[in-house]
Amino acid sequence: MKTALICGISGQDGALLAHLLLRKGYRVVGGARDAQVASFANLRRLGILDRVTTLSLSLTDFRSVIQALIKVRPDEIYNLSGQTSVGLSFEQPVETLESISIATLNLLESIRIISQDVRLYNASSSECFGNSGSHPADENKLFHPRSPYGVAKAAAHWQVANYREAYNLFCCSGILFNHESPLRPERFVTRKIISAVANIARGSTEALELGNLDVIRDWGWAPEYVEAMWLMLQQEQAEDYVICTGRSVSLKEFVKLSFAAAGLDWEAHIRVNNEFYRASDIAESRGAPTKALHQLGWKANVEVEGVIQRMLLAEQGVDLEQVLWG
């Protein structure tokens, strides 16, 4: 039985990955800053909390990381922790850098010191690329991040590449584009939109306030993306991969599709609020998942319409397991 340590198990990706690995017969250990008081709400929602071993782990504390690796002795480590909001990173740039970049460095150095047999997956991000324009970004595109979050992810990405080349560690980064599910917190714009649509469909008179509707993103289905994470660690060689659907639409189109799915006119319920505009933002984000298809055999099957449909079903009370994997 393989042992997987998931750093950031309480988040959307961590919980979905834990579910996947348990189905594959792994012993799953999940780290949280204070496991004794953490709610692990997503693990509870998936009905797997009692099948996961949890431990207190602070990735910004080198001693804590070393102790965890000695105790758990994982075969695979999935680094999904850190501050996850691009918008919040403008307000908390230091916390964002420390929780992503310093945390990743602590993991890499701990692995180097204790054991080189561990395989590490690092959650990189399409935010590293910045504006892609009309040309989809692949693994060779230069980084030009436009947020503190993107800067932190880019630093962590190159740390992983450096340790792979300098110390021959099996460590890789998944450059994931936006991926959603009902496990997303409502502060994320997609969940905010879907929740508002569901409320309005039930008779609410609320107005949905959003920022720049012209930004273009590639939105995929998170349960499919965690499969790609696992596949990266099953390869003979550690490499980095872009993970996305290959299709991007504007936020305005996402809003239109969401309201249309509930039989509503989006223009009657939307209000643009300049307070939600970011200091600097990515106008257009497009990705090319060709390498993942050819080398991992991975392809996104759910595109933006399917993401919206599934998230609306969850808001309407349809069984979560059916929504996620049905």
Marked catalytic residue, from 26, 78, 121, 149: 149
Q: Residue 150 corresponds to which tokens in the numbers above?
A: 């993107």
Marked catalytic residue, from 99, 110, 125, 132: 125
The alpha-helical segments, DSSP class H, found in the chain are: 12-23, 41-45, 62-72, 86-91, 93-97, 103-114, 148-167, 189-201, 222-232, 251-261, 290-291, 304-315, 320-325
CB 157 within 8 A of CB 173: yes
CB 149 within 8 A of CB 127: yes
Is 127 catalytic? The answer is: yes
What gap in Å lies between CA 51 and CA 37, rounded to an integer? 18
For 186, left (φ over 0), alpha (ψ -120 to 50), or beta? alpha
Q: Residue 245 corresponds to which tokens in the numbers above?
A: 């659907």
Instruction: Please work out, in degrees rounded to the nearest 5, the angle formed at the alpha carbon of residue 212 by the alpha carbons of 209 and 217.
Output: 110
Among all chains, which residue has been given the structure tokens 């050819």? 294
Cα of first residue to Cα of last residue in the chain, in angstroms, is: 27
Which residue, among 110, 107, 104, 151, has the nearest Cα to 123 in the 3D structure? Answer: 104
Marked catalytic residue, from 58, 126, 127, 163: 127
What gap in Å lies between CA 115 and CA 70, rounded to an integer? 9
- Catalytic residue IDs: 125, 127, 149
